Amino acid sequence: MTDQQLIDNLRIVPDFPLKGIQFFDVTTLFKDPACMEEVVSRICNLYKDKGVTKVVGIESRGFIAAAAVACRLGAGFVPIRKPGKLPAQTVSESYAKEYGTDTIEIHSDAISPGDVVLIHDDILATGGTAGAAVSLVRKFSPAAVYLNFIIDITDVPRTAGFPAGVQVDSLLSLSEN
């Protein structure tokens, strides 16, 4: 399957969640079995030789591919969620995003020192959520952290940088315009 075939299966929603934002909806990729297989296979191929022990999915669309990738890589799955959604003790990180501020949480026992962690989310825009996720995961002293997205929206200014030593990969690079 080509990049263009994946792109052709995206739903683009104008003015969501706010006027002026063009939302790339990956759920249309997930409902198509061939697209879902392609997304998961491409992600797994990128990290199959990295020794990944935990795959972290960022709420909520990040959960979908992250869980499938974790199963295929023989790794554990760890959710990063919005405040108050995880039932046990958590560690949190606050951050700015393109239309406000937010906080994310992870269970305090989710990652062990020395784990090799792949953080996955559907879309990289400003980088705020992903940057916060990297900061959160690094609190656990993992051996390595990788960051993966299905789509990198290349013309959105990044508000957050990623620390040195974090490999960032995306399956598709698209523009909002």
| Residues tagged active-site | 61, 98
Q: Which residues contact 57 (CB under 8 A, 6 or more apart)?
A: 63, 64, 65, 66, 67, 77, 78, 79, 80, 120, 121
Location of structure tokens 């960032």:
168
The answer to whether the beta carbons of residues 104 and 133 sit under 8 Å apart is: yes
The answer to whether the beta carbons of residues 161 and 131 sit under 8 Å apart is: yes
Give me the long-range contacts of 33-37 (CB less than 8 A, separation at least 24): 34/1, 35/1, 35/5, 35/6, 35/9, 36/65, 36/68
- Strand locations in 27-166, DSSP E? 54-58, 76-80, 90-97, 100-107, 116-124, 144-153
